[in-house]
Chain A
């Protein structure tokens, strides 16, 4: 089995236009990942399945990276009282957030070649609000079917080309995405207007009318 580094070289050789890069994992597990641009994800996925033998996509999940406000101290030269002096200023920079779809790939075809480390494939959306589309990899690995639906449900990533993209765990009328970092849960999940409320209101109105 090739490592993520070797795979990256192989992808770059076979698909020169595909924009892929390596993301190193600093932890002791050393499971590095390959970040692929959404526009090239499908062809890279097909290449990985057909040529590299990664026929088994085990885990699909999402990760939310909210935008961060980073305050940096910058030295600027300014005219202070007619003299050029170096002044330290705090500049606030907003790092844009994104949503990430993560795929863990293994090979069943080459399972005899010893212990397997996952090949991690990541796609990133443009931002967290209006540019949340990435191509679905369900046509390549069917195992992504329910899991992409779950990511759509809980994170709000829209998988283009998914054959049945509906909410999986939350109910259809639910509007938010609970696994996002900035999600605030409502006071009452179950509240919905019922006929009972109307009846109660009418009864109260009637009781008030009788009292008058």
Chain B
């Protein structure tokens, strides 16, 4: 294999131990409390210093994609809830979007608004719990996490009211949504949105200037922008590295071009930036929610021409993606004209964001690995699928 052009590769670096050559191998996980589930990192340590880190996946593998190839298109909708179980509604949306691209289905305006409202509520609760977990791993046992979960629970109550389940909503349908929102629901959502900035203020007052937080996160686990782009990092982690790439602004999927909001960017690409970008993104989500809840029009919530329970799309393929709270969540579908997809693929942001875990952790202490890993914000249901 010869290539004429010169190009730069971004493969993980190799660092040499500087001690007496005796290394310690540690299997961190799969039952380590900081791994957010069942995930293992095989570390090689020179003293406290990490010189090699190999993530080991698959403990939660259930071959989600194979299931997708043996059920109908609609039958797969509840399974997508179980991918990233912290934010099931955005998973629903991404899958619905891919099928809508494949079949050319249109979505009524009211349903688009409901989708945006639910996606932004999901984003707030995801970021709140991600930060809560991060602080928990820093040693602040319980309190900040419970503050975050208190707010998350309010959002989950709204979800339960609308979809019937706190988490596994199974709510989106191709060409719309399953049930309509009531005026009372809108009122409650407005009430929550009105109180949300206060929660973020409180959160920030507690944590933003905290000396321990700053000492442990600033300049730690730095991810350079060029590596982030090449390694396909998406979501808050990419934007913390200073790359302005938000699919809500790039693709304008749904109706995101109607709302005014900004994309917060980081400067250094360290853990602190990832934390701050999440806080600021939650604030922007509140802005979107205010506009969406104010402007939501009446009308149908499902396109009458939308495909029903069993349908056979024309042969072909489609890739649909949205800006999920954790990054770009994509679904790739190939139809051969049958009632179930010929190929069903999930592009999991959690897995791909872990690509650079080794690069970020090398040279740091074991205690910092926990934080760097926590700042990536993953859910194992999506990593292992």
Contacts and interface: CB of A to CB of B under 8 A. Distances in A.
A113 to B, nearest CB: 9
Interface in A29-67: 29, 31, 39, 42-43, 46-47, 49-50, 55-59, 61, 63
Contacts of B251: 115-116
B162 interface: no
B335 to A, nearest CB: 7
Nearest to A57: B232
Given A43-B3, A55-B229, A104-B319, A143 B384 contact: no
Interface residues of A, number: 49
A167 B55 CA distance: 12
Contacts of A49: 7
Given A108-B245, A115-B252, A31 B231 contact: no
B317 interface: yes
Contact of A143 (B4, B61, B252, B352): B352
Q: How large is the interface on B (under 10, 10 to 19, 20 to 34, 35 or more residues)?
A: 35 or more
Nearest to B253: A115
A161 interface: yes
B250 A178 contact: no
A115 B233 CA distance: 19
Interface stretch (A82-90, A124-132, A168-176, A204-212): A168-176
Contacts of B316: 25-29
Contacts of A120: 319
B328 interface: yes
Given A61-B343, A146-B352, A178-B63, 9 more contacts: A28-B103, A28-B316, A43-B2, A58-B232, A61-B345, A138-B11, A142-B227, A168-B58, A170-B61
Interface of B: 1-5, 7, 9-12, 57-58, 61, 63, 65-66, 101-104, 227, 229-234, 243-245, 250-252, 313-319, 321, 328, 330, 332, 334-335, 342-343, 345, 347, 351-352, 354-356, 384-385
23 contacts: A25-B317, A26-B316, A27-B104, A27-B313, A27-B314, A29-B104, A43-B3, A56-B245, A59-B345, A108-B245, A115-B250, A118-B319, A139-B9, A142-B227, A142-B230, A142-B356, A146-B352, A146-B354, A147-B352, A160-B1, A167-B58, A169-B384, A170-B61
